[in-house]
Structure 1
Amino acid sequence: MFPSFFMAHGAPTLVLEHNPYTRFLRILGAQIPKPRGVVLFSAHWESPVQAISGAAQPETIHDFFGYPQRLYQYEYVARGDILLSLEVQKLLTAEGIGCRIHDERGLDHGAWTVLSLLLPHADVPVVTLSVNPRLVPEEQYRIGMSLMPLREQDYLIIGSGGTVHNPGLLGWDAKEADNWAIEFDQWLAERIHIWDLEALFEYERRAPFAADAAPTREHLAPLFIGMGAADVKRKAALLHQQYQYGSLSLSCWMFS
């Protein structure tokens, strides 16, 4: 059975960089068995109703501005899989989770930054899903739980976001990680390792510096989805952790 993952997608420039995190993702992609397909929840696709991509050839979306010109020319040419999209829809619907298939949605940078490093040959079909930041963590977790059967069918479930993500507090010239970002991530890690859902679901109230680390919910929602997809054995491993720009957390969690 495939594990599920939470992966930080960082800034769009991640695909142009050579650092410990990009090396880690490349090595991880070479080590894990090739999946039948990828089901990826992107923090950069927000929707009030759970949306599922259904495009046969999803385009590369350049959903940002102010970055180097070559980023706007970058393409991750993956194919979709409408049968997988329909299976995702069936599983969500069976759990009473409203959803719809979006026939034209492409791959935003929450998807292609991670996938281009993990699966650089783009030879695995990809179905992306939206997140709804209005949902509480328990509801995000339930979405992940509904898709657990996909892991038994050799599909890879990835939540793409960031545990510490606050553009307003980034230090573009910072050489060291901010203590408040580290404290928030340490609090999360301690509770993820023991699968303390009660505390995690109340992170906004309990975690130190939660308002600074996660002022909005969309980048942390994929973490709960990834955990929910591994609700049976509830095993968690932090595979990588580093920071950019003082507080941008680049972490990867594996759930099995």
Structure 2
Amino acid sequence: MTHSRRLPTYFISHGGGPWPWMAEQLQGPYGTLAASLQAMPGQVGVTPKAVLVISGHWEEPEFTLMSSPRPPMVYDYYGFPPHTYQIQYPAPGAPELALQVQALIQGAGFTARLDPQRGFDHGTFTPLAVIYPNADVPVLQLSMRVGYDPQQHITLGRALAPLRDEGVLILGSGLSYHNLRELGPVGRAPSATFDQWLQQTLVASTPQERIHCLLDWAAAPAARRAHPQEDHLIPLMVAVGAAGDEAGRCVYHQDDFFGAITASSFMFGG
């Protein structure tokens, strides 16, 4: 099945925990993020055949794909109101696509396995509940690989790129700044500094420069202040790998997230 248009890829900042189900928060720090996620179906332009999500909340020793036709829920957050542990995002899984993606990953020289038990974590169900609130688009979640090797995840993205011509939306879900100990005013400067580097790298650089910079991301200004552990940055590598030579643009940006933090999301191609 070939679509007449190649779908873009995304790296999105998905926000904290189950925020869409906490309406009082939406009035404050989440209004801008919510609007950017609601705008995505229009940017994509067609309803995807499926969404392939690489979430900053799932890593395995080898690349792993959820293969359940009806994925369960993973409530991987702490200290939120009781009702947020009853959330359902009943999107169908995509077991046939999982087999196809497994073959693509193996074709790139990696091992890849299927996990029939794995469910949607909040890196997947939280943004998708805003992007596709009817839960009517099949969703396939793909793990990161332990070790966070940028080159491996860029290579993974390149292997997934043909899916863009088959109606599959590739979505890297993390946060452009993820230092939970420095979320208040202390994070203002490092988040802004690292975001400037991201904008230069992802929007203003050539595709070749983009890859070169991302491979050496830890040398960027304030890199380890922004990402003491890079689990929420590595999904970007997959989105960029799948983007090939296509340009990037910033589709979400605010400098007062949680009052002080600079956060962004990016779209490639499309």
- TM-score range with shorter-chain normalisation? over 0.9
- Counterpart position of 1:14: 19
User: C-alpha displacement at 1:70, in angstroms?
Assistant: 2.0
Corresponding residue SS for 2:39 = helix
Summarize the Cα distance change of 1:113–1:247 in structure 2 as closer, same or farther, 3 Å threshold: farther
- What is the percent sequence identity of the aligned residues? 33
Map 1:56-95 to 2 at 5 A: 56-95=69-108
* 1:25 and 2:37 aligned: yes
Find the aligned partners of 1:135 and 1:13 in 2 and give their Cα distance: 25
| Superposition TM-score, scaled by structure 1 size | 0.93
Find the aligned partners of 1:30 and 1:9 in 2 and give their Cα distance: 18
Corresponding residue SS for 1:35 = coil
User: C-alpha displacement at 1:31, in angstroms?
Assistant: 4.8
Corresponding residue SS for 2:230 = coil
* 1:108 and 2:121 aligned: yes
Find the aligned partners of 2:48 and 2:212 in 1 and give their Cα distance: 32
Map 1:94-133 to 2 at 5 A: 94-133=107-146
Q: Read off the aligned partner of 2:229 and give its amino acid letter.
A: T
- Counterpart position of 2:189: 179
Gaps of 5+ in 1: none
Summarize the Cα distance change of 1:248–1:143 in structure 2 as closer, same or farther, 3 Å threshold: farther
Find the aligned partners of 1:229 and 1:247 in 2 and give their Cα distance: 32
- Does the CA-based 8 Å contact 2:148-2:231 persist in structure 1? no
User: C-alpha displacement at 1:60, in angstroms?
Assistant: 1.7
Summarize the Cα distance change of 1:139–1:133 in structure 2 as closer, same or farther, 3 Å threshold: same
| Superposition TM-score, scaled by structure 2 size | 0.88
For residues 84-106 of structure 1, the C-alpha deviation after alignment (integer angstroms, 9 at most, x for no partner) is 00010011111111110000110
Find the aligned partners of 1:113 and 1:218 in 2 and give their Cα distance: 17
Map 1:182-221 to 2 at 5 A: 182-193=192-203, 194=205, 195=207, 196=209, 197-205=211-219, 207-221=220-234
User: C-alpha displacement at 1:163, in angstroms?
Assistant: 1.6
Corresponding residue SS for 2:90 = coil
Question: How many residue pairs were aligned?
Answer: 251
- Counterpart position of 2:166: 153
User: C-alpha displacement at 1:255, in angstroms?
Assistant: 0.8
RMSD: 1.7
Moved more, 242-251 or 101-110: 242-251
Corresponding residue SS for 1:114 = helix
1:165 to 178, 181, 193: 178
* 1:240 and 2:231 aligned: no
Find the aligned partners of 1:198 and 1:228 in 2 and give their Cα distance: 12
User: C-alpha displacement at 1:13, in angstroms?
Assistant: 3.6
Q: Read off the aligned partner of 1:239 and give its amino acid letter.
A: V
Corresponding residue SS for 2:232 = coil
User: C-alpha displacement at 1:234, in angstroms?
Assistant: 2.6
Find the aligned partners of 1:218 and 1:237 in 2 and give their Cα distance: 22
User: C-alpha displacement at 1:216, in angstroms?
Assistant: 0.8
Gaps of 5+ in 2: 1-5
